[in-house]
Amino acid sequence: MKTVVIKYNSGNVQSVLFALERIGVKGILSDHPEEINSADKIIFPGVGEASSAMKFLKEKKLDAVIQNLKQPVLGICLGMQLMCKHSEEGDTDCLGIFPLQVKKFNGKEKVPQIGWNNIYSLKGKLFDGVKENGFMYFVHGYYAEIGSNACAKTNYILDYSSALQKNNFYGVQFHPEKSSWAGQVILKNFMKL
């Protein structure tokens, strides 16, 4: 099975590759469309800023590649946000896979949210064996609103989508690669899809 981690101007790819190794999967880091298209599983990770990330994807023509993928795709953190329609971060038009807005947290709590928080209202195969209200590791200042594609929710200042799913596209706001055994379960479940 060929697993490609999309390479773009975003941090955190190395920890995703290490997490895959821990579950016995060798990931290939690539920004080549033919390599991405020939993969069995694709991970679209991200720590960074939406507008510069989208600019890079468009320059490399990776936006159209990602939108047209038919195999399972997992967006992580910024990767998930970029799969939404629009982000308030840099007033950015994103990939539009999920018809949702990504908004900036506004409230008394500290932003970005950094640390462990629970996920609930879990739906779908990605969460097989994961406990309702289990804890995941988050680092983000923007969130995807709740819509029909939400398959997990979290509360920080307000309820938001901490996981999304539509057809072959999956997204998680938290970092499974930094979320201990529960994150490993999610990565293993993704590999089984």
Measured CA to CA, the distance from residue 119 to residue 64 in angstroms comes to 31
pLDDT in tens, 110-135: 999 999 999 999 999 999 999 999 99
Average pLDDT over residues 186-192: 98
Instruction: Look up residue 71 and give its amino acid.
Output: Q
Residue among 52, 42, 45 at smallest CA distance from 94: 52
What ranges do the domains of the chain cover? 3-192
Residue numbers annotated as active site: 77, 175, 177
Q: What angle do CA 134, 166, 60 make, to 5 degrees?
A: 105
Instruction: Please tell me the pTM assigned to this model.
Output: 0.97
Q: According to the CATH classification, is domain 3-192 in 3.40.50.880?
A: yes
Provide CB contacts within 8 A for 2, sequence distance 6+: 28, 38, 39, 40, 41
- State yes or no: pLDDT of 12 exceeds 90: no
